[in-house]
């Protein structure tokens, strides 16, 4: 099926050709006709399969067909979890609706609010933004949401994960009850379905693939590597493969900054993007990455949604995400719009539990790769042994060997090891008690000897200077002199009183 058969306006078809698309993706083919009928939908598809165009194209058709509202009050509202995703949706609206007389505004935090106020006051038909800034503008009586005809929640699951549920409910209370509501998300959860039940009216459920899966165009693999050598392996992969564009995901903002700095020191131009960066810095880093000025863009999960990079070939999970669902969104940055992509994860032993959760979610096992010049980290259920505990571990190994025996000597072997260990403890205790007492005596003796030395020195000086001692004996002490002088004064004062 072609876009012409979907019943879209000619101006929109021109915008589609301008973007270079010929045939609709499965999610677009199924969702667009339902949206044009005015029905609510709950749509799910893998990241990178064209969800943005699936609601942008019919939205432009509906608004342009219904005519403009007096004063250009907002008639459509698109909620997104991140600034990058809001900017991506706003860019798609502008590209597809170039031939239409519709105005669009993008609002989000982290930038000056005054230009956004100015754009809204001039009049706008479509508002795309994040929940926090939308509530801020509505609270200042700048944004009027009472005439919204279509509400779209893009990446609804991510908004719930980020704690936007209360903000979403506040925004819903500002909207008219009679409206069309569209839910688009890459993953489903019970929280999403519960929220959808309260907001959607007899929705159409659209699923083009099974839940919580990555696109088949993404080749997934992993390397087992120790944490201390992850950066070394990453640099080696980039240099040996001569990769020109790599998106790397880390868990923390500080980790993203540190990794970008280390890669730059390795001669690989890198930029970091995360929530602590200003919007100007984030936009500049993304533009440099798209233009090829930076080979690597290091990002956190907050930026995993909304990074739309044409034909991105490589995504690296430097650290596995906090949740298995985030893994699907991370690798969904590559293999988009039918193009092939590669997603590689660097996994250390401490991340094996998360790896199992990811494989359980996507219902497939991620193949392990090996590199000849880089030995893989062996799997081990126990942490590396402390040298001080090696003797204990040897004893435990003996117990394990005894436990393997299926004969009746198993209990005897355990008793022997317990006895031997107890005997060793007793011996150590006895040895420590024997060695401590002489040490205390020796210490006491040393202290007494040290105290006797000053006395000996004093006595030797006294014998050496008998004259000085004799003078001291002849001269009265200061206390006796004070007593005598005090008695003389009392006598004088008493005589004066009598006279």
pLDDT of residue 426: 43
pLDDT at 408 over 60: no
Query: End of a domain among 362, 384, 403?
Result: 362
Please indicate whether residue 344 or residue 276 has the higher confidence score (pLDDT): 344
Same domain flag for 153 and 202: yes
Angstrom distance (rounded) from CA 237 to CA 235: 6
Please report whether residue 329 resides in a domain. yes
Please indicate whether residue 308 or residue 306 has the higher confidence score (pLDDT): 308
pLDDT of residue 352: 92
Please indicate whether residue 490 or residue 291 has the higher confidence score (pLDDT): 291
Same domain flag for 179 and 255: no
Angstrom distance (rounded) from CA 281 to CA 83: 13
**Do the beta carbons of residue 189 and residue 160 sit within 8 Å?**
yes
**Do the beta carbons of residue 91 and residue 15 sit within 8 Å?**
no
Same domain flag for 199 and 329: no
Please report whether residue 336 resides in a domain. yes
- Joined together, the tokens standing for residue 233 give 């392996």
Angstrom distance (rounded) from CA 321 to CA 343: 14
How does the average pLDDT of the chain come out, rounded? 78
Which residue is associated with the tokens 């798209």? 290
- Averaged pLDDT, 368-372: 85
Same domain flag for 186 and 316: no
State the CATH number of the domain containing residue 354.
Answer: 3.40.50.300
Q: For the chain, what is the total number of helices (H) and then of strands (E)?
A: 18, 13
| Of the ranges 229-238, 324-333, 451-460, 477-486, the best mean pLDDT one | 229-238
pLDDT of residue 475: 47
Same domain flag for 43 and 134: yes
Angstrom distance (rounded) from CA 101 to CA 98: 8
Please report whether residue 49 resides in a domain. yes
Query: What are all long-range contacts of 29-38, with beta carbons under 8 Å and residues at least 24 apart?
Result: 29/1, 30/206, 30/208, 31/55, 31/58, 31/206, 32/6, 32/8, 32/57, 32/58, 33/6, 33/7, 34/204, 34/206, 35/59, 35/62, 35/180, 35/182, 36/6, 36/7, 36/61, 36/62, 38/62, 38/180
Please report whether residue 96 resides in a domain. yes
Residues 6+ apart with CB under 8 A from 268: 235, 238, 239, 295, 296
pLDDT of residue 70: 63
pLDDT at 91 over 60: yes
pLDDT of residue 413: 43
pLDDT at 451 over 80: no
pLDDT at 212 over 60: no
Band (pLDDT 50/70/90 cuts) for residue 455 is low
Sheet holding 218-224, edge to edge: 218-224, 341-347, 314-317, 246-249, 296-299, 270-273
Angstrom distance (rounded) from CA 375 to CA 397: 27
pLDDT of residue 443: 45
Same domain flag for 19 and 139: yes
Q: Hey, which residues does 224 pair with through a beta bridge?
A: 347
Length of the chain: 499
Please report whether residue 384 resides in a domain. no
Lowest mean pLDDT among 230-244, 266-280, 345-359: 266-280
Band (pLDDT 50/70/90 cuts) for residue 47 is low
DSSP assignment of 242-255, as one string? T-S-EEEE-SSHHH
Please indicate whether residue 328 or residue 123 has the higher confidence score (pLDDT): 123
pLDDT of residue 62: 94
Same domain flag for 38 and 180: yes
Pick from 151, 170, 180: nearest CA to 76? 151
pLDDT of residue 304: 58
Please report whether residue 424 resides in a domain. no
pLDDT of residue 440: 45
Please indicate whether residue 458 or residue 137 has the higher confidence score (pLDDT): 137
Count the alpha carbons within 13 Å of 78 in the hemisphere toward its beta carbon: 33
pTM of this prediction? 0.64
pLDDT tens digit string along 149-171?
A: 999 998 887 788 778 889 999 99
- Averaged pLDDT, 408-419: 42
Query: End of a domain among 174, 207, 240?
Result: 207
pLDDT at 36 over 80: yes
Same domain flag for 100 and 149: yes
Please indicate whether residue 216 or residue 409 has the higher confidence score (pLDDT): 216
pLDDT at 449 over 60: no
Please report whether residue 149 resides in a domain. yes
Angstrom distance (rounded) from CA 100 to CA 243: 40
Band (pLDDT 50/70/90 cuts) for residue 187 is low
Please indicate whether residue 449 or residue 9 has the higher confidence score (pLDDT): 9
Domain count, the chain: 2
Query: End of a domain among 207, 236, 254?
Result: 207
Please report whether residue 356 resides in a domain. yes
Q: Report in angstroms the alpha-carbon separations of 84 from 78, 129, 239, 293.
A: 13, 10, 29, 19
Count the alpha carbons within 13 Å of 84 in the hemisphere toward its beta carbon: 24
**Do the beta carbons of residue 342 and residue 230 sit within 8 Å?**
no
Same domain flag for 188 and 65: yes
pLDDT of residue 65: 87
pLDDT at 124 over 70: yes
- Joined together, the tokens standing for residue 59 give 């939205």
Pick from 304, 273, 303: nearest CA to 288? 273
pLDDT at 83 over 80: yes
Count the alpha carbons within 13 Å of 399 in the hemisphere toward its beta carbon: 14
pLDDT tens digit string along 460-497?
A: 554 555 555 454 444 444 445 444 555 666 666 676 66
pLDDT at 32 over 90: yes
Same domain flag for 177 and 236: no
pLDDT of residue 377: 64
pLDDT at 432 over 50: no
Neighbours of 368 (CB within 10 A): 13
Domain residues for the domain of 133 are 3-207
Same domain flag for 137 and 235: no
pLDDT at 245 over 60: yes
Q: Hey, which residues does 315 pair with through a beta bridge?
A: 247, 343
pLDDT of residue 208: 74
pLDDT of residue 404: 42
| Of the ranges 241-255, 358-372, 377-391, the best mean pLDDT one | 241-255
pLDDT at 117 over 70: yes
Same domain flag for 181 and 40: yes
Please indicate whether residue 271 or residue 406 has the higher confidence score (pLDDT): 271
**Do the beta carbons of residue 215 and residue 340 sit within 8 Å?**
no
pLDDT of residue 7: 87
């Amino acid at each position: 099926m072609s876009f012409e058969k979907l019943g879209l306006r000619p101006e929109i078809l021109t915008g589609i050709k301008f973007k270079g698309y010929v045939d609709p993706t499965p999610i677009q083919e199924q969702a667009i006709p339902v949206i044009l009928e005015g029905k609510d939908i709950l749509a799910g598809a893998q990241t990178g399969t064209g969800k943005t165009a699936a609601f942008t194209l019919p939205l432009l058709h509906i608004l342009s067909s219904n005519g403009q509202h007096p004063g250009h009050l907002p008639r459509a509202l698109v909620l997104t979890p991140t600034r990058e995703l809001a900017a991506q949706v706003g860019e798609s609206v502008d590209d597809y609706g170039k031939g239409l007389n519709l105005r669009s505004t993008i609002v989000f935090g982290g930038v000056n609010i005054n230009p956004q106020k100015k754009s809204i006051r001039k009049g706008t038909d479509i508002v795309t933004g994040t929940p926090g800034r939308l509530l801020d503008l509505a609270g200042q009586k700048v944004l009027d949401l009472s005439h919204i005809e279509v509400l779209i929640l893009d990446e609804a699951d991510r908004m719930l994960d980020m704690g936007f549920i209360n903000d979403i409910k506040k925004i819903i209370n500002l909207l008219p009850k009679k409206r069309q509501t569209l839910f688009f998300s890459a993953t489903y959860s019970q929280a999403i379905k519960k929220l959808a039940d309260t907001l959607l009216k007899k929705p159409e459920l659209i699923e083009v693939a099974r839940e919580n899966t990555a696109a088949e165009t993404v080749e997934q693999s992993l390397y087992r590597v120790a944490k201390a050598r992850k950066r070394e392996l990453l640099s080696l992969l980039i240099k040996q493969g001569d990769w020109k564009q790599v998106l790397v995901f880390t868990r923390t903002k500080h980790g993203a900054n540190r990794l970008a700095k280390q890669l730059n020191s390795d001669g690989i131009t890198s930029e970091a993007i995360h929530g602590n960066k200003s919007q100007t810095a984030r936009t500049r880093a993304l533009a440099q990455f798209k233009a090829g000025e930076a080979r690597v863009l290091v990002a956190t999960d907050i930026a995993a949604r909304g990074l739309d990079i044409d034909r991105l070939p490589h995504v690296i999970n430097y650290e596995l995400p906090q949740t298995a669902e985030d893994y699907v969104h991370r690798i969904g940055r590559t293999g988009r719009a039918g193009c092939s992509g590669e997603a590689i994860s660097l996994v250390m032993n401490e991340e094996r539990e998360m790896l199992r959760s990811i494989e359980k979610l996507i219902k497939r096992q991620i193949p392990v790769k090996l590199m000849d010049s880089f030995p893989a980290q062996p799997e081990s259920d126990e942490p590396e042994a402390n040298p001080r505990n090696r003797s204990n571990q040897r004893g435990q190994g003996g117990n394990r060997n005894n436990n393997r025996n299926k004969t009746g000597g198993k209990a005897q072997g355990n008793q022997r090891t317990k006895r031997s260990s107890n005997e060793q403890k007793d011996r150590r205790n006895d040895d420590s008690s024997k060695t401590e007492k002489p040490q205390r005596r020796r210490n006491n003796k040393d202290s007494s000897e040290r105290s006797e030395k000053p006395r000996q020195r004093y006595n030797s000086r006294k014998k050496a200077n008998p004259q000085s001692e004799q003078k001291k004996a002849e001269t009265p002490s200061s206390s006796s002199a004070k007593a005598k002088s005090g008695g003389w004064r009392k006598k004088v004062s008493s005589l004066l009183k009598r006279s």
